[in-house]
Structure 1
Amino acid sequence: MAIALLCVLVVPAGWADNQNLELTDDRGATLRLTSAAVRPAAISSFGADVSLALGIVPVAVTDYGLQGVPDYLAGQLKGVQTLGPRHQPNLEILSELSPDLVIAIRRYTEKDGAHIESIAPLLALDLISLPDSLRAVDLAGRALGAHEKAVALNGEFLERLKKLAARADGNPVKTIALLTSGSETPFIYYDHFLPTALLEKLGFDSVGGHPNPENGIPLGYRISLEALLELNPDIILMLPTSRQRAFTMNPIWPYLKAVRGDRVFEVPHYWKEGAGPIARERILEDIERLLVHPSEAVADK
């Protein structure tokens, strides 16, 4: 199976005296920095992830409510101020901390963008697809004065992806669905969402299909159990939820091939926001276990 690797344009990002660094984020907005940021704040797991991967501890991070900061980063974020959930960060606390950069998910900060920019330069990112991840790591590396390391992280990730794809080449193609939601109707992710895109590159066929261009946030869509049964994936992966998954109580659920074959796995929370260098490496590790040792769960069922 061939794999098309994505290239990141490498441009020197040296800091010159009395010269601003100009970056264009995913809003198309230009932010200007007079020196590398050393006190970033993260309105996203990505912001914390990329900062830590580049050797900088952020001054503030968003959390998952009662679940706290992301488990996979918690050990490195002890004592770091939390801002509350990413969709409703506490901007008063953010202002008090005086960050010199805010790294955020674009769709969660559009309504407060002007307020955030009055506090610090805002790097607002889409963080949906693999190209989004590569570009975001590159931009964050420039802003944090660690561009060479960011380029290296992207290159190492793509090389690992290429090697893993070569191992998967020739394996029988299995269909797969990535689901979330605690309601009666699950949400299924499109095949360009970062984790499903990685699955596609590693020999799986994501049944969520291609993004609908009419969807303002092309992540995925609600799918009925009847429609899911029609697609009938070999494997179902489910993002964690704090609520009971009502759709698994549907009488159709036991008839799904993945359920009958005991091929339903819960994946860790970083699959939902996996664009950071640390998270995406962990996602590859999870997929590798699924590929090499299919009898081992990616996480607890």
Structure 2
Amino acid sequence: MASLPNRIAQLLLIALLLPTPALSADSMIRLTDDRGHTLRLSEPATRPAAISTFGADVALALGRTPIAVTDYGVSGVPDYLASQLASASGLGPRHQPNLEVLSAVDPDLIIGIRRYTQKDSNQIAAIAPLLALDLITVDDSIRAVALAGQALGATDKASTLNRRFLSQIQRLEERSSADDKPTVALLTSGSETPFLYYDHFLPTALLEAMNFDHVGGAPPNPDSGIPLGYRINLEALLTLDPDIILLLPTSRQRAFTMNPIWPYLSAVRNNDVHEVPHYWKEGAGPIARTLILEDIERLLLSGTPSGPVQ
């Protein structure tokens, strides 16, 4: 597989050359999602629902306010979209959406994460066409935004968002130093053992594109993209000893930061531990992925220190 900077160049060229999809002779919109299922829409969707933060993000970015959205459980609707989702009905957590509420709001399209909707996909699709997406890698994000653009009747705008994103990656990659590659770890969990993401996950792939060396390594199943990462004990993390640690938010105190080994990590000793917002966990949407790039530029490319995170 091509390195991400090379892949970004390829994707940008494809985005520039790709013709605008036309409606079929019978004016039916046809698109194939990441299950391999073909969706047929008689007209662009105007009442999308989201079983994913991505669905809400991409709908808003393309000028459609979703009528129903899932949330992050106890954390609620993601902060970066909350002000624009006041009118949307709540569906509960993305791994267990309330299908009664979903049916009651009568959407004409449902945008979901494939791994969270798979077990109930028949029930969900009986309510409205289900666009089930992988949303793990940079390629997934580009494809998903393009598909959503077709479904929502905003193909040109989706193409513009993708080109802008790819160009922003190239600009930041040119700003970063290829000679000095700091090591970085993206961690999550509130337990005693953190979860470390693999390098194919969208935010870690973006870090790699910026010439950071993410210590998670390559995924064992690149074709499926699952698992997203693995549990790592503090002894093993100390062996990797990343220069920078990025922490996703958690509703609990991070028990692993209480481990006696934690203060010996170089990132902790050098005050190079940063807490990043929740959109890093589901960052495939046009708004989220742009915010992630802005965070990387502000926190890591400008040298702004954050201090230790507890």
Q: TM-score per shorter chain, which class?
A: over 0.9
Which of 128, 131, 146 is the matching residue for 1:120? 128
User: Sequence identity of aligned pairs in percent?
Assistant: 63
> What TM-score comes out, normalization by structure 2 length?
0.92
Question: Paired residues, what number?
Answer: 301
CA displacement at 1:298 relative to structure 2: 10
Does 1:278 pair with 2:280?
Answer: no
Deviations 1:17-48 (A, max 9, x none): 73322111111111111110000000000000
**Superposition deviation, residue 132 in structure 1:** 0.4
* C-alpha contact (below 8 Å) 2:195/2:230 kept by paired residues: yes
2:172–2:210 contact (8 Å) kept in structure 1? yes
Report Cα offsets for 1:164-209 as digits up to 9, x if no partner: 1101134511000000001111100001100000000001000000
Aligned counterpart, 1:221: 230
Alignment check: 8 A CA contact 1:168 1:291 kept = no
Consecutive unaligned residues of structure 1, counting only runs of 5 or more, are none
Given the alignment, which residue of 221, 240, 243 partners 2:249? 240
Q: Determine if contact 1:33/1:143 at 8 Å carries over to the other structure.
A: yes
Q: How does 1:252-267 map to 2 (within 5 A)?
A: 252-267=261-276
Residues 266 and 298, structure 1, Cα contact 8 Å, conserved in 2:
no
1:108-159 CA deviation, whole Å, 9 max, x = no partner?
A: 0001000000000000001000000000000000000000100110001111
The letter for the 2-side match of 1:107 is R
Counterparts of 1:239 and 1:221 in 2: how far apart (Å)? 15
- Is 1:294 matched up with 2:303? yes
Partner of 2:81, secondary structure, is helix
For the 8 Å contact 1:184–1:245, the answer to whether it is kept is yes
Structure 2 SS opposite 1:191:
coil
Alignment correspondent of 2:145:
137
Distance 2:107 2:52 in 1: 15
Choose which of 180, 191, 204 in structure 2 pairs with 1:183. Answer: 191
Deviations 1:58-102 (A, max 9, x none): 010001223221100011111211100000000000001110000
Segments of structure 2 that go 5 or more residues without pairing to the other structure are none
Amino acid at match of 1:269: H
Structure 1 residue aligned with 2:33, among 7, 16, 25?
25
1:3 aligns with 2:12: no
CA RMSD of aligned residues (A): 2.0
Aligned counterparts of 2:23 and 2:211: Cα–Cα separation in 1: 42
1:205 aligns with 2:207: no
Deviation of 1:16 after TM superposition, in Å, equals 5.3
Worse overlay, 245-254 or 204-213:
245-254
Q: Give TM-score, length-normalised by structure 1.
A: 0.95
Matches within 5 A, 1:97-116: 97-116=105-124
Which residue is 1:52 aligned to?
60
Question: Secondary structure of 2:136's partner?
Answer: coil
* Residues 107 and 127 in structure 2, CA contact (< 8 A), matched pair in contact too: yes
- In the alignment, the residues of structure 2 paired with residue 128 and residue 299 of structure 1 have an alpha-carbon distance, to the nearest angstrom, of 29
